[in-house]
Structure 1
């Protein structure tokens, strides 16, 4: 069996480490990602477009959300758009792309190479992290320059933004990898994955004020990560006075971390047990 210390090739060169291969895969994944122009436009432009639509439609008369003086609509919708962007870049992107790679045989061929499986997943996660950072930065620039949304002014608010973003991205990645085994083919991947993300957006306070949703819908949304990512982002971008308007009267940071970690563990377990390198019909 070939190991990382075996000598290969005429130059007797050692095989790269798992981390080095993972970093190389990040570069490859980035190139492949940007070649899919329709996916790039959707993932980067969707949160920006939706922010523009909701901020313009609901905020055209200068209206606000919550008790006086209220929060301008653009500021209210920004955290939800950041959260949904994280889910698009991580969960939806990986669940769809991996299913397609499995269907066209790319995963089966990769599995037959000396590259460790860990390097493949590091490449996927690295690509998601880079694209999520670019997407979020673009969204913040548009919100601040076009809609005058105030950015956080304290180190604690930025720290909250950072840990919710990183934990939410990690959770979305592992859940996307685990969910990639659900579609029966690459062609059906979008039809299976996209509705899940859309439904979660509607019930998680992304498109509507969360506390105005029916109680049963709030309870359902509280089971899934998107609601907690959006709530965590609100705690970073809203003034402290807005905390009283949350369900339960608190930002619930411990609950946010707990739910995301639980889903992170669930995604890891499902991914390890159910991930497939080849199509269902392959012998």
Structure 2
């Protein structure tokens, strides 16, 4: 008598392996949107060129003597921080809202793909996009504007953890904020003003110590101010501490605020994320 064994369905790969595969898919989709990619990659470079040219046209510098800092060098950290925010928070908040509005998330939820793999793919896309964007910005700053790059392992270590925490916090907050726009068409109109306001009050376009005190206090509640300050500690000499409001780089506070926003983004995202449009039940 021959025993008949029922065929078992093949097991799905692990979430990490699926997340890597999803990252590749997200990157292909991301770079196919050439207009959005060009804007996100070019925006910090263009803004750095504008500010370095306008403020430094007469050879002006911040400070005097051998400790003077060129405007291109001073504005570079803020542009690095805003580039990370564009590639993480703004990119995900808009793209996920559009995917939800077009029904892509609803269809994806009906597949065997674990939700964790989808979000890992988004985070992977953000990290790769941020790395490429920052690499381009630093290359332009060094080659075109002669901005000196850090030369110590300590400085690059600081850059790594500020970049990593900033990109992670921006990504999870972008996922959480993607539920705010009522439709994909309104996503840019809802998300972009938030990013612009934060740039103006966080020391990206202006020296942070010259902003009104109330504006400094508001900016201190949000991660962009701390990312910019953390990046200043990497790309500016210690002599620049004299123009910091606190007189310190505040690395501990930077890490604490970015971690807090990472946790807040995760909690809010888990509680509010929707796979369907508002009018789809």
Into which bin does the TM-score normalised by the smaller protein fall?
over 0.9
- Higher mean Cα deviation, 176-185 or 242-251? 242-251
Match of 1:72 in 2: 70
Query: Pick from 199, 205, 208: which aligns with 2:206?
Result: 208
Match of 1:226 in 2: 224
Match of 1:17 in 2: 14
Please give the secondary structure, in 1, of the residue aligned with 2:111: coil
Between the aligned partners of 1:158 and 1:66, the Cα distance in structure 2 is 25
Structure 1 contact 85–132 (Cα < 8 Å) conserved = yes
Cα distance, 1:14 vs structure 2: 2.4
Unaligned runs of 5+ in 1: 1-5
Cα distance, 1:23 vs structure 2: 0.5
Match of 1:171 in 2: 169
Moved over 6 A (4+): none
1:14-56 deviation digits (Å, cap 9, x = unpaired): 2111111110110100110011111010111000011011101
Unaligned runs of 5+ in 2: 1-6
The correspondence of residues 91-110 of structure 1 with structure 2, limited to 5 A, is 91-110=89-108
Match of 2:28 in 1: 31
Q: Say how many residue pairs are matched.
A: 274
Query: Pick from 239, 242, 267: which aligns with 1:241?
Result: 239
Q: CA RMSD in A?
A: 1.0
Please, what TM-score do these two structures have when normalized by structure 1? Answer: 0.95
Cα distance, 1:248 vs structure 2: 1.1
Between the aligned partners of 1:84 and 1:119, the Cα distance in structure 2 is 27
- With over 3 angstroms needed to count, the CA separation of the structure-2 counterparts of 1:217 and 1:66, relative to structure 1, is farther
Cα distance, 1:67 vs structure 2: 5.2
Match of 2:54 in 1: 57
Cα distance, 1:185 vs structure 2: 0.3
Between the aligned partners of 1:243 and 1:251, the Cα distance in structure 2 is 7
